[in-house]
Amino acid sequence: MEYSVKVKNLSVTLGGHFKALKNINLELPIGRTIGFIGPSGAGKTTLIRCIVGALRINLNEITVFDKLAGSQDLRQQVNYMTQELSVYPDLTVKENLKYFITMAGYSRKAAKDMLIEVLRLVDMTNISESLVSNLSSGQKQRVSLAVALIGSPKLIVLDEPTVGLDPVLREKLWNLFSNLASKGTTLIISSHSMEEAGRCDDLVLIRDGRLVAHSSPTELLHRTGTKTVEESFLKLVGDKE
Amino acid sequence: MSFIKTLATTKRVLSQLGHDRRTLALLFIVPPALLTILKYVFQGEPRVFATIAPMLLGIFPMIIMFLITSIVTLRERSSGTLNRLMTMPISKSDFIFGYAIAFCLLGLVQAMISSGVMLGLLRVTVIGGSITTMIVAVLAAFLGTALGLFTSAFASSEFQAVQFLPALIFPQLLVCGLFVARTEMAKPLQWLADIMPLTYSVDAMKQVTISSSWTNVLSRDLIVVACFAVVALILGAATIRRQE
């Protein structure tokens, strides 16, 4: 099996004393939607930041498509949506996307097509001229998501992408994520919502900086003899404690 | 470094400010308004106003650009946009120079408006000419931009960013020679003034008011201001990290 991300014995200490991640080992297959699931403060965002190369780690602890996490070659291949808004509230939706498309290295002509495409993907074509500051929090979230969908990345890392979105749009986005995965893109999606976990192909359960489990939702339910991911999570956490 | 990405950053920064009318007012209306008020403050002593007004043209752009750049850059650092950009295929120079060009252009427009008001409406005579006046004002704006980019790295909130104004800029204002000639100040303050960039910006403006030709002192002053700005830009670039 080919892997998009390999994590070996990763431990991260933040602020000199807080152990955010403790000896994580993971191999994430290509072309899947992989959910990083766990409560707030579990270490999901820290792990994500290590994978995209935003956090300094020891050499060889993480490779992405066989290159060291954060290496220059990966900047065209990995798109990242942070938990914060990470777009410019004082620009319109279109101005934001145009800027990030240019930063992604698209030519003027290709940028036009890309703009139309990402606006369509997040269903924002009709409000593309609106200032981001005037949008609802769910709409702002979609602008940020649109930036992460620019181009043809091999890995898309989304930190809590569906927070604040209405159920209809959430459904559309999960279909989009599945569609992207079926075309070979790997998606890492962090969420503290156990309900959404069932939509992923693979689950990485994290708690207190430790890896609790890594398997498909079906395997997880089978192994724990439970009916929901939430029950599985609670059972696994209970077993470990 | 990519020319297209640098210009895209410049365009983006200008678009952001274009949507913000208050900031535009601070940039383009406040400096000439302050000069106008000052003219009437010194109504009984027009010679004093004629002396200090050009010097203020070397100070206002620096202070205003410092303030705006430090806050805009801080927002970029704290809102996650800089983090996002640093995971994209852009170089730090695209970002830094994009900002520097944007604020220098704003500095140019500000200098044109302020010097236009000063030379035209307020009837101040600058024998060095309006072009030289504007060159000094734009360099002062460049210095303010570079210092703002650099110092924003040491603030974690807009409140902290504003604190750099009294901490870093006001001392320079006191010793730069605006209020008292530097030679009349205590020796330690003269030494302090010698290592402060605002001193050279104000001194350059003084040169423009006393000489009709381009003097060596003026060249020296402008080179010193430009060097300070470039060093601050390089240090500013060093504070932008792809990895924490």
Q: Are residues A73 and A1 in the same domain?
A: yes
Instruction: Note whether B244 contacts A54, CB cutoff 8 Å.
Output: yes
A192 in Cβ contact with A203 (< 8 Å): no
Q: Residues A153, A163: contact at Cβ < 8 Å?
A: no
- Say yes or no: A241 contacts chain B, CB-CB below 8 A: no
pLDDT at A124: 93
Domain around B91: 3-239
The tens digit of pLDDT for each residue in B182-230 reads: 999 999 999 999 999 999 999 999 999 999 899 999 999 999 999 999 9
In this structure, is residue A225 part of a structural domain?
Answer: no
Which pLDDT value is given to residue A241? 57
Same domain, A101 and A53: no
Q: What are phi and psi of A127, to 5 degrees?
A: -120, 25
Rounded to the nearest integer, the mean pLDDT of chain B is 91
Helix axes B3-18, A93-103, angle to 10 degrees: 160
Residue from A121, A3, A13 nearest A57 by CA: A13
pLDDT tens across the length of chain A (241 residues): 789 999 999 999 988 888 899 999 999 999 999 999 988 889 999 999 999 998 888 877 899 999 999 898 999 899 999 888 899 999 999 999 999 999 999 988 899 999 999 999 988 999 999 999 999 988 998 999 999 999 989 999 999 888 878 888 888 889 999 999 999 999 999 988 888 888 899 999 999 999 999 999 999 999 999 988 888 888 888 765 5
Amino acid at B159: F
Picking from A151, A35, A59, the residue whose alpha carbon sits closest to that of residue A104 is A151
In this structure, of A191-195, B5-9, B13-17, the range with the lowest mean pLDDT score is A191-195
3-class secondary structure, B70: helix
Q: Do A52 and A68 sit in the same domain of this protein?
A: yes
The count of domains in chain B is 1
Each residue of B90-140: pLDDT tens digit? Answer: 999 999 999 999 998 998 899 889 989 999 999 998 999 889 998 999 999
Same domain, A8 and A73: yes
pLDDT of A240: 58
Q: Are residues A145 and A158 in the same domain?
A: no
Q: CA torsion sign, A13 to A18 to A20 to A22?
A: positive
Q: Which amino acid is residue B152, in one-letter code?
A: S
ipTM: 0.86
Yes or no, beta carbons of B81 and A53 under 8 Å apart: no
Q: At what angle do helices B92-116 and B130-151 cross, to 10 degrees?
A: 140
Give me the pLDDT at residue A156, please: 96
Does B177 map to a domain?
Answer: yes
Three-state DSSP class for residue B220: helix
- Distances, alpha carbon B109 to alpha carbons B37, B58, B102, B132, in Å: 21, 14, 11, 14
- The tally of domains found in chain A comes to 2
Residue A238 lies in a domain: no
What is residue A183's DSSP assignment? T
Whole-angstrom Cα distance, residue A239 to residue A213?
Answer: 12
A72 shares its domain with A181: yes
Write the pLDDT tens digit of every residue in B77-94.
888 899 899 989 999 999
Q: Which are the contacts of A173, defined by CB distance < 8 A and separation ≥ 6?
A: A122, A145, A161, A162, A165
Under an 8 A CB cutoff, do B16 and A131 touch?
Answer: no
Cα–Cα dist A71/B10, whole Å: 26
Using the beta-carbon criterion (under 8 Å), do B5 and A88 form an inter-chain contact?
no
Predicted confidence at residue B139, as pLDDT, reads 92
Residue positions counted in chain A: 241
The pTM assigned to this predicted structure is 0.87
In chain B, what percentage of residues exceed pLDDT 70? Answer: 100
Q: Which residues in chain A are contacts of B4 at CB distance < 8 A? A: 102
CA distance A184 to A114: 19
The verdict on B74 touching A (C-beta cutoff 8 Å) is no
User: How far is Cα B46 from Cα B107, in angstroms, rounded to an integer?
Assistant: 27
| Structural domain boundaries, residue A133 | 85-152
In this complex, which of B4, B20, B84 lies closest to A80 when CB atoms are compared? B84
Same domain as A52, residue A27: yes
pLDDT given for residue A164 in this prediction: 76
Q: Which of B12, B91, B93, B241 to mutate to test the interface with A (most CBs of A within 10 A)?
A: B12
- Contact of B12 with chain A, judged by CB distance below 8 Å, is answered with yes
What average pLDDT does this structure show over B168-172? Answer: 92
- The runs of H, that is alpha helices, within chain B are 3-18, 21-28, 30-41, 46-78, 81-86, 92-116, 130-151, 158-164, 170-175, 187-194, 197-210, 216-239
Q: Do A56 and B243 touch (CB under 8 A)?
A: yes
Whether B244 is covered by a domain: the verdict is: no
In a domain, B87, yes or no: yes
The answer to whether residues A68 and A160 belong to one domain is: yes
Distance between CA atoms of residues B40 and B22, nearest Å:
25
Give residues with Cβ within 8 angstroms of B141, minimum separation 6: B61, B62, B64, B65, B103, B104, B106, B107, B108, B110, B111
Distance CA B83, CA A91 (A): 18
Q: Chain A contact for B93, CB < 8 A?
A: no
| One domain for residues A97 and A200 | no
| Model pLDDT for residues B63-77, shown as the tens digit of each residue | 999 999 999 989 998
Is B62 within the bounds of a domain? yes
Residues of B in contact with A140 (CB under 8 A): none
Q: Are A70 and A9 within one domain? A: yes
List the strands of the sheet with A202-207, edge to edge.
A78-81, A155-159, A186-191, A33-37, A202-207, A210-215
In this structure, which long-range contacts are made by residues A200-204, counting pairs with CB atoms below 8 Å and at least 24 apart in sequence? A200/A32, A200/A33, A200/A34, A200/A35, A200/A37, A201/A32, A201/A33, A201/A34, A202/A28, A202/A29, A202/A32, A202/A33, A202/A34, A202/A35, A203/A34, A203/A35, A203/A37, A203/A229, A204/A26, A204/A28, A204/A34, A204/A35, A204/A36, A204/A37
How far apart CA B139 and CA B173 sit, in angstroms, is: 17
pLDDT in the model for residue A60: 76
**Cβ of A104 and B89 within 8 Å?**
yes
Whether residue A161 is found in the same domain as residue A44: yes
User: Does the CB of B156 have a partner CB in chain A at under 8 Å?
Assistant: no
